[in-house]
Structure 1
C-alpha cells in the first residue's frame, strides 16, 4: 500500500502516510477524509486506489463518497468501475457520486456503462446521465426503453424527458399506454409533457383511464402542462375520479387551461370534504376569469381552512 506515495512530494500528503497505511480500517477511513480536505490533485491517486483495492468496505465507501466533487476523467472511470464492487454499499456510494457530476466529459465516460450486463450498473449510469443532460445519451436511452428491466426503462425515460427528445414521443406514448410496470407508465406519462404537442393527447387521455391512480394523477398533471384546450373535457371527467389526488391535479390543470366549461364542476368541488381540493377549486375558478363563479366563491369565504379562505380571496380579486 506504500508505493503509491512515490507520485507526490506534497508534504501534507506524505504526513498522512502512517494513517493512510494503518492496519485499522477506521483509521484509514478518517485519514482519507483528511486527505480529501487538502483538496490536492495528488491526493486523487490515493483516493482512486483505495476505492478500487482497499480490503475494507467502509474505506471503499468513504473513497467513493469523497470522490463526488472531482470531475477528473480517471475519477469518473473509477466510480463507474465501483458500480461493480461486490459491496452494495460501495455501489450505492459510487452511484450517488456519479449523479452529482456536471460536465460533458463525465458523460462520455459514463455512457458506455449504460449498456453494461449488470442491471444495477445500467440504472446508475442512466441516472447519472439524466442529471448531466448529456445529449449523446439519447440513442442509448431510446434503446433502453425496450430493456427487460423496468427500473432501467424508467431511468431511460428520465433521460429522454430531461433532454426534451421530441423524436422519442411515439416511444414514450407507447410506454405510457402499454408498459406492464406502473412506475414506468407514470414516468412516461410525465415525460410526454416535454412538448406542447397535440399528438400526445390520445396517450394522455388513455393514461387518465389507467388502472393505477398514480398514472392517472400524472396524466392529469401533464395535460395541464401540455396546454391544449382539447384536454379540458377529459379533465372535467377526472374530477369524478375515485382518488382525490387525481381530482386535485385535474382541478389545477383546468385552471391552467382556463377551461370555461369546467365552471359548474369546479363550483361543485368547492364543497368537497378535502380542504386541499377546495383550495385548488377556488384558485382554478379565479383562473377561469368567469364572473359566474363570484357568488359561489363568496359563499365559502368563511371556510374552516385558512388556506381555502386565502385561495378564495385570491380568486375573488382576480374576478373583480
Structure 2
C-alpha cells in the first residue's frame, strides 16, 4: 500500500496476514443517503445498488415532487425488493399521481408487491381504484394478499364497497373470495356490514359459514340465532362445532363468560333446547362445544341432560362437570360429588371446582379426602382451594389443612394457608400462627403472617 491508497467503507479487502501492508491506507466514509440532496436521490433511483434506500429516503422526507420519477422507476425491469421499496414510497407519499402505477402492480408476480400496492391504494384513497382492487382480489390465489385487496377496496370507497360486497356474497362463485369478504366485514363497523355478515351465516360453503359464525359469536346480536340454530344441524362437523361454540359467547350468562347482552328468555329456551339435542353428536369436538355452551348459557333445563351425559360420556366428562358448576343448580350435586371419585384426574379437578361453585356441604368430606390423599398434586391443590371457598365445617377443614401443612410440597402448604384464612376460626388461626413461625419456606411463612393480619 501507499500513503495515497484510498478505499470506501464497506469495500471488501482480501488480506493475507503478514503479506499485505496497510499502513498509510486512508478509509473514507461514504455519506449516508440521509445526507444526499434530493437531486442525487432522484438520480439514485436509476442505480440498482441504491434504488431501494433512495426511494425510502425520498418518502421519509415527504418529497412529493419525486412521485413522477418513482412512477417511471416502477415501469422498468426492477427486482422484487426494489419494486416493493418504490411501492412503499408511493404509499408514504400518498399522491394520487401514483394510482395508475399502483393499480398496475396489483398484477405483479411478487405477492408482497401486490399486497404493498393494495395497501398504498388504500392510503391514497382514490375511489376509482375500487373496481381494480376487487378484480385483482377475484384473481388472487394468496389468501393474505386477497385480504389486503378487499380491505383496501373497503377503504377507498366504503359506501360503494358495501354494495359490491353484497353482490359478491350473493352471486360470487368463488367461496375463497366470499370468505375473505366476510373476514373484512368482521372488522368493519356499521349496520350494513353487520347485516351482510348475518346474511353470510347461510352461505352454501362451509368455510364461508364458519367465518360468519366466528364473526357473530362476539356480537351480542340476537338476529344471528335462527341461522346459528340451523347450522347446529349442518352436515359439516366443523360448522356444527363453530355454531355450538358461538353460544358459549353469544348471550352467555355464566360468570366466567358474561361480557355482553343476554338473550331474551324465549330465545334462550330455544337455544338451550337445540344444544341439548346435540349432546349425542357423533363428533367429540362438537359435543365439547355443546357442553361448554350449555354451561355458558347457565339454564336449569340443561342440568338433567348434562347429568345423564356424565354417565354416558367417555371423553368429555370433565366438560360436563365444569358446565354443571357454572349452572350452579343443586340438582347437580350428586353428579358433581360422585365425580370427585372419577378415575380421570382432570375430572376430579373440575369436580373440586364445581363443588365450590355449587356451595354444597355434601362435598366437604370427599374434598378432605382428595386434599390429603389424591395421587395427583393438581387435584389436591384444587380440593384445598375448594374447601376454603366453601367455608363449611371449619373444624374438619382445619384438621385436613393441618395434615396438608406437613406435606413437603410448598405449593400445597401455601394453598392450605389460603384456605385456612378463608375458613377462619380459632383452630385455623392457631395453625396459621404455627406456620408463620415454623414452615421451612420463607414464602409460606410470609403468606401465613399476611393472612393473619
Q: TM-score, normalised by structure 1?
A: 0.79
| CA spacing shift, 1:240–1:109, aligned 2, 3 Å | farther
Larger proportion of helix: 1
Pick the aligned partner of 2:322 from 252, 260, 276.
252
Pick the aligned partner of 1:229 from 278, 282, 300.
300
1:301 aligns to what SS in structure 2? helix
Pick the aligned partner of 1:24 from 58, 73, 78.
78
Pick the aligned partner of 1:308 from 371, 376, 379.
379
Q: Tell me by how many angstroms 1:19 deviates.
A: 6.0
2:202–2:227 CA contact under 8 A, matched in 1: no
Pick the aligned partner of 1:190 from 217, 226, 245.
245
Q: Tell me by how many angstroms 1:168 deviates.
A: 3.4
1:179 aligns with 2:250: no
CA distance, structure 1, for counterparts of residue 131 and residue 386 of structure 2: 54
CA distance, structure 1, for counterparts of residue 246 and residue 152 of structure 2: 22
CA distance, structure 2, for counterparts of residue 73 and residue 237 of structure 1: 61
5+ unaligned residues in a row in structure 2: which ranges?
1-44, 46-61, 252-262, 392-453
Matched residue, 2:92? 39
Q: Which has more radius of gyration?
A: 2
1:170 aligns with 2:226: yes
Q: Tell me by how many angstroms 1:316 deviates.
A: 1.2
Q: Tell me by how many angstroms 1:106 deviates.
A: 4.6
Matched residue, 2:271? 200
| CA spacing shift, 1:61–1:139, aligned 2, 3 Å | closer
Pick the aligned partner of 1:60 from 114, 124, 130.
114
* Structure showing greater relative contact order (alpha-carbon pairs closer than 8 Å, 6 or more residues apart): 1
1:269–1:278 CA contact under 8 A, matched in 2: yes
CA distance, structure 2, for counterparts of residue 122 and residue 45 of structure 1: 26
| CA spacing shift, 1:149–1:34, aligned 2, 3 Å | closer
CA distance, structure 2, for counterparts of residue 212 and residue 223 of structure 1: 17
| CA spacing shift, 1:31–1:167, aligned 2, 3 Å | closer
Q: State which drifts further: 10-19 or 256-265.
A: 10-19
CA distance, structure 1, for counterparts of residue 325 and residue 185 of structure 2: 35
Q: TM-score, normalised by structure 2?
A: 0.58
Q: Tell me by how many angstroms 1:17 deviates.
A: 5.8
Matched residue, 2:398? none
Matched residue, 2:184? 128
| CA spacing shift, 1:51–1:268, aligned 2, 3 Å | farther
Q: Tell me by how many angstroms 1:254 deviates.
A: 1.1
5+ unaligned residues in a row in structure 1: which ranges?
3-7
Matched residue, 2:203? 147
| CA spacing shift, 1:312–1:14, aligned 2, 3 Å | farther
CA distance, structure 2, for counterparts of residue 207 and residue 67 of structure 1: 48
1:210 aligns with 2:265: no
Q: Tell me by how many angstroms 1:269 deviates.
A: 2.5
Matched residue, 2:144? 92
1:51–1:59 CA contact under 8 A, matched in 2: yes
| CA spacing shift, 1:39–1:24, aligned 2, 3 Å | closer
CA distance, structure 2, for counterparts of residue 98 and residue 156 of structure 1: 16
CA distance, structure 1, for counterparts of residue 101 and residue 314 of structure 2: 51
Q: Tell me by how many angstroms 1:169 deviates.
A: 1.9
Matched residue, 2:346? 276
Q: Tell me by how many angstroms 1:257 deviates.
A: 0.9
Q: Tell me by how many angstroms 1:310 deviates.
A: 3.0
CA distance, structure 2, for counterparts of residue 225 and residue 294 of structure 1: 26
Q: Tell me by how many angstroms 1:319 deviates.
A: 0.6
Aligned length, in residue pairs: 308
| CA spacing shift, 1:16–1:137, aligned 2, 3 Å | closer
| CA spacing shift, 1:233–1:46, aligned 2, 3 Å | farther
CA distance, structure 2, for counterparts of residue 243 and residue 79 of structure 1: 51
1:319 aligns with 2:390: yes
Matched residue, 2:103? 49
| CA spacing shift, 1:100–1:291, aligned 2, 3 Å | farther
2:111–2:145 CA contact under 8 A, matched in 1: no
CA distance, structure 1, for counterparts of residue 247 and residue 72 of structure 2: 56
Pick the aligned partner of 2:137 from 77, 83, 90.
83
1:102–1:131 CA contact under 8 A, matched in 2: no
RMSD: 3.7
1:48–1:78 CA contact under 8 A, matched in 2: no
